[in-house]
């Protein structure tokens, strides 16, 4: 059996040796404080990235707001343009309707005016005819005056309706006019013909009034339709 011999230390590393200069260590009092650790470069980079991200987000918000505002303004302008166009179309439609209504009113006024003129013409004819039929002397005076303006009264003849013959015969006998009285069925009552060698004059006061009304008709119709508008002036 082997025996275990105790370890032997050399003199230079013996713990009982008081000379500590040769031992490689320092006391706690002689040890300096450790220098503070410097922040790593990655931390600064992270802060820079965070700041850049915040700035980018801010710029994105500004761009988004500007885009929204521009889109809103564009939409508002487009809406205003569309509304204006629709308003113009509506006004144009209303104007067309008014023009059509004015045209219809003018046509109605013209129709009323034509009817009124027809009635007036008929009334005038009837008044003149009834007046001359009631008093044939008025027709005789017209015939006598017309004959006096003829350059040649020789062989003068007056043609009248058969119903007026008796009255005209009496008036001719009382007149200095030299003429021959003729009963003619082609002559209408309240009219007569003064016939000379050169001329044949039809005296028909009722027809003369009707012809005069026909001549005035275009002017009267124009005044009837246009006069109210011109009196008020053109409408804005």
How confident is the prediction along the chain (236 residues), in pLDDT tens digits per residue?
555 555 554 555 555 545 555 445 455 454 555 555 555 566 677 777 777 777 777 777 777 777 777 776 777 677 777 777 888 888 888 888 888 888 888 788 888 888 888 888 889 888 988 888 888 888 999 999 998 888 887 889 999 999 889 999 999 999 888 889 999 999 988 899 999 988 899 999 988 888 888 888 888 777 766 554 444 444 44
Tell me the two tokens of residue 131.
């007046």
Q: DSSP readout, 4-20? A: PPPP---GGG-TT----
Assess contact for 148 and 182: CB atoms under 8 A: no
Output the pLDDT for position 181.
92
How far apart are alpha carbons 184 and 165 in whole angstroms? 9
Which residues does residue 192 pair with via DSSP β-bridges, in sequence order?
A: 160, 203
Output the pLDDT for position 183.
93
Which residues does residue 183 pair with via DSSP β-bridges, in sequence order?
A: 160
Assess contact for 203 and 151: CB atoms under 8 A: no
List Cα–Cα distances, 171 to 26, 138, 167, in angstroms.
Answer: 179, 11, 6
CB hemisphere CA count around 85 (13 angstroms): 6
Kindly list the domain boundaries of the chain, sorted by start residue. 42-226
How far apart are alpha carbons 102 and 108 in whole angstroms? 10
Q: pTM higher than 0.75 for the full model?
A: no
Residues 6 or more apart in contact with residue 155 via CB below 8 angstroms: 180, 196, 197
Q: DSSP readout, 159-214? A: EE-GGGHHHHHHHHHHSS---EEEE-TTSPTT-EEEE-SS-EEEE-HHHHHHHHHH
């Amino acid at each position: 059996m082997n025996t275990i011999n105790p370890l032997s230390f050399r003199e230079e590393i013996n713990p009982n040796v008081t000379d500590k200069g040769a031992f490689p260590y320092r006391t706690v009092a002689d040890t300096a404080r450790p220098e503070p650790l410097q922040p790593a470069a990655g931390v600064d980079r992270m802060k820079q990235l965070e700041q850049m991200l915040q700035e980018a987000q801010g710029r994105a918000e500004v761009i988004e707001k500007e885009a929204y505002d521009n889109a809103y303004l564009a939409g508002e302008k487009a809406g205003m343009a569309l509304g204006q166009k629709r308003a113009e179309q509506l006004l144009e439609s209303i104007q067309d309707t008014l023009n059509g209504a004015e045209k219809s009113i003018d046509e109605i006024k013209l129709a009323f005016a034509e009817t009124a003129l027809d009635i007036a013409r008929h009334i005038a004819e009837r008044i003149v005819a009834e007046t001359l039929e009631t008093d044939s002397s008025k027709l005789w005076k017209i015939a006598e005056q017309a004959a006096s303006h003829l350059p040649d009264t020789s062989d003068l003849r007056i043609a009248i309706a058969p119903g007026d013959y008796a009255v005209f015969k009496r008036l001719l006998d009382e007149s200095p006019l030299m003429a021959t009285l003729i009963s003619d069925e082609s002559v209408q009552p309240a009219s007569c013909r003064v016939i000379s060698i050169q001329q044949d004059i039809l005296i028909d006061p009722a027809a003369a009034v009707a012809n005069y009304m026909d001549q005035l008709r275009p002017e009267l119709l124009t005044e009837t339709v246009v006069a109210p508008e011109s009196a008020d002036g053109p409408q804005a």
